[in-house]
Amino acid sequence: LAGPFTVSDDRASDEACPVTASLAPGASITCTASYTIVQADLNTGSVTNTASASNGPVTSATDSETVNAVQSPALSIVKTATPGTYAAVGQVVSYSFLVSNSGNTTLFGPFTVADDKTSDEACPVTVLLVPGASITCTASYTATQADLDSGSVTNVASVSNGTVTSATDTETVTAVQSPALSIVITISIVYTLLSE
């Protein structure tokens, strides 16, 4: 077969073959091409491309190749408390949770935070998080007398989208304890009246 020979690949745009005048029966050449992975390829789990070779009048049958993705879906959570201390019963500690897609695949919402001390966890409505993207969720906790007595409040939180759950993150808020006693002295004066 007389050259030149070209390769057509449905995924590549830089196909290249060595300059070859002709190929005798049984002879071969090696052509090359490349493809850059996109996020959709990681999400779907593989890339399949199909190629054929031609010298103009003769075209080969197609050949397909599939490359599998190593998917690593992951969520992370970082919790922050404001203020960092409490000093009275009824004081409210506000928590913010930085929720991030720390994996290599797109994760779909909704995302929810589970905290062992709070009951008002809230996350913004989020359709999806691409790798590296993040949202901030919130919650709050009201200090009790037991929290003041114990000296601190520690709570543990994680985030999930139903299929992927993060490792937990722990935050401790310290009590400003002010033990004190007070005393009030009351003096009673008794008057005795004597009659003459």
If you average pLDDT over residues 108-122, what whole number do you get? 97
Provide the pLDDT for residue 181: 85
Residue-wise pLDDT for 34-82, tens only, equals 999 999 999 999 999 999 999 999 999 999 999 999 999 999 999 999 9
Residue-wise pLDDT for 139-175, tens only, equals 999 999 999 999 999 999 999 999 999 999 999 999 9
* Banded pLDDT at 136 (limits 50, 70, 90): very high
Alpha-carbon gap, residue 118 to 97, rounded angstroms = 12
If you average pLDDT over residues 17-31, what whole number do you get? 94
Provide the pLDDT for residue 140: 97
Token digits of residue 87: 């000093």
3-state secondary structure of 41: helix
User: 34, exposed or middle or buried, with CB in 10 Å at 0-12, 13-18, 19+?
Assistant: exposed
Provide the pLDDT for residue 182: 85
Provide the pLDDT for residue 152: 95
Question: Which residue(s) pair with 172 in the sheet?
Answer: 154
Which alpha helices (DSSP H) does the chain contain, by range? 39-44, 145-150
CA 189 to mean position of chain CA atoms: 74
Amino acid identity, position 126: T
Token digits of residue 188: 């009673």
Residue-wise pLDDT for 122-135, tens only, equals 999 999 999 999 99
Alpha-carbon gap, residue 26 to 2, rounded angstroms = 14
Q: What is the pTM of this model?
A: 0.81
Residue 84 backbone dihedrals phi, psi, to 5 degrees: -85, -5
Amino acid identity, position 123: C
Provide the pLDDT for residue 196: 64
Report the sign of the C-alpha dihedral through residues 54, 59, 60, 61, in that order.
positive
Q: Residue written as tokens 């008057």? A: 191
Query: How many CA atoms lie less than 13 Å away from 23 in the CB half-sphere?
Result: 19
